[in-house]
């Protein structure tokens, strides 16, 4: 019955909808995934909303570092919400369809928010570089106008990425093919079902990936090279420990996010394992945004102190 339902949907017009096959070949796995994805999504929502509220309500956290962290939490909320509700809908029933418009919106948000996060993590690295390498000039350099400009650049890069790649991907001829072997409308999965030569599109994707992924990553590595040199010059053990704690959370988030992104987008599209692609996408689309608030909360005395003050406030 399950297979018949999917086959019936596949025969419908692909001009109006796509079929997100996702994990439909493993019905038992779908039931397990539904529970885990729902729990992780709720934890992601609660964790990131708490970070945003704490950073906004506590005057002690009105600093550039927490301004960028608030943007990261808001970004993660949008990032997960762009695809996880649709995934839960598909996992919870036999209907695996998504409308053409819904697919286009999902792709647009996914590309835009992913690109924004790449640049925003580089901006946060620059903030840490300024705080540790130029502490006496930190408040002068990282003034509010510069913070808003840096965040605006991050969001603009993400928007530009979406405006360029979304129409190109959605307009590819598919000759009646509408089975997307993924749980969301991701660019590599949509390119794979095209019925024309996609070398030019894949080359464009690779070039944009180099610009949007590797350029920010290079800036992050340069920033932390200077930070490492500055920390090595600190004589006191407590000073070095404080510097490492300041950067440790951000480095952990960078490693989680970029590790998956590079694996997914910096290799030829047809060589990646489909199952690996699904689970890696699920990881950076759900698990990483869920871990971000935990990482920043557990490793950060300021956030824990702010939470305690808000809880005990009369």
Assess contact for 173 and 195: CB atoms under 8 A. yes
Distances (CA, A) of 27 to 14, 23, 31, 36, 91: 24, 7, 7, 15, 9
* Ranges of residues in the chain whose predicted pLDDT is under 70: 1-15, 239, 246, 264-277, 298-300, 313-314
pTM greater than the 0.95 cutoff: no
CB-based contacts of 130-133 (< 8 A; 24+ apart in sequence) = 131/65, 131/246, 132/227, 132/230, 132/231, 132/243, 132/246, 132/247, 133/226, 133/227, 133/230
- The pLDDT tens digits for 116-137 are 999 999 999 999 899 888 888 8
Buried b or exposed e, range 299-310, using 16+ CB within 10 angstroms: bbebbeebbeee
Neighbours of 75 (CB within 10 A): 24
Neighbours of 198 (CB within 10 A): 19
pLDDT at position 267, please? 56
Walk me through the domains of the chain, giving residue ranges and CATH numbers: 1-309 (1.20.1070.10)
pLDDT at position 116, please? 94
Pairing of β 179-180 and β 17-20: parallel
pLDDT at position 288, please? 84
pLDDT at position 146, please? 94
pLDDT at position 11, please? 43
3-state secondary structure 231-281: HHCCCCHHHHHHHHHHHHHHHHHHHHHHHHHHHHHCCCHHHCCHHHHHHHH
């Amino acid at each position: 019955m399950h297979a018949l339902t999917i086959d019936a949907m596949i025969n419908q017009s692909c001009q109006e909808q796509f079929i997100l096959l996702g994990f439909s070949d493993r019905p038992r796995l779908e039931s397990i995934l539904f529970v885990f994805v729902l729990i992780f999504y709720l934890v992601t929502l609660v964790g990131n909303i708490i970070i945003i509220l704490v950073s906004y309500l506590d005057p002690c956290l009105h600093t550039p570092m927490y301004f960028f962290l608030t943007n990261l939490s808001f970004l993660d909320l949008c990032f997960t919400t762009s695809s996880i509700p649709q995934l839960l809908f598909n996992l919870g029933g036999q209907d695996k369809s998504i409308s053409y418009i819904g697919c286009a919106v999902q792709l647009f948000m996914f590309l835009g928010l992913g690109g924004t996060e790449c640049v925003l993590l580089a901006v946060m690295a620059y903030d840490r570089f300024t705080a540790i390498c130029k502490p006496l000039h930190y408040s002068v350099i990282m003034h509010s106008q510069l913070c808003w400009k840096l965040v605006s650049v991050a969001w603009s890069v993400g928007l530009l990425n979406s405006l360029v790649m979304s129409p190109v991907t959605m307009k590819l001829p598919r000759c009646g093919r509408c089975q997307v072997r993924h749980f969301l409308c991701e660019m590599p999965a949509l390119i794979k079902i095209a019925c024309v030569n996609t070398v030019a599109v894949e080359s464009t994707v690779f070039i944009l990936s180099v610009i949007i992924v590797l350029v920010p990553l290079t800036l992050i590595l340069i920033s932390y090279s200077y930070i490492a040199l500055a920390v090595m010059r600190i004589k006191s053990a407590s000073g070095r420990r404080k510097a490492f704690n300041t950067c440790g959370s951000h480095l952990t988030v960078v490693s989680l996010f970029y590790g998956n992104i590079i694996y997914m987008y910096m290799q030829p599209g047809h060589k990646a394992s489909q199952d690996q692609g699904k689970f890696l996408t699920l990881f950076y689309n759900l698990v990483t945004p869920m871990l971000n608030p935990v990482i920043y909360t557990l490793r950060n005395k300021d956030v824990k102190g702010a939470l305690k003050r808000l809880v005990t406030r009369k």
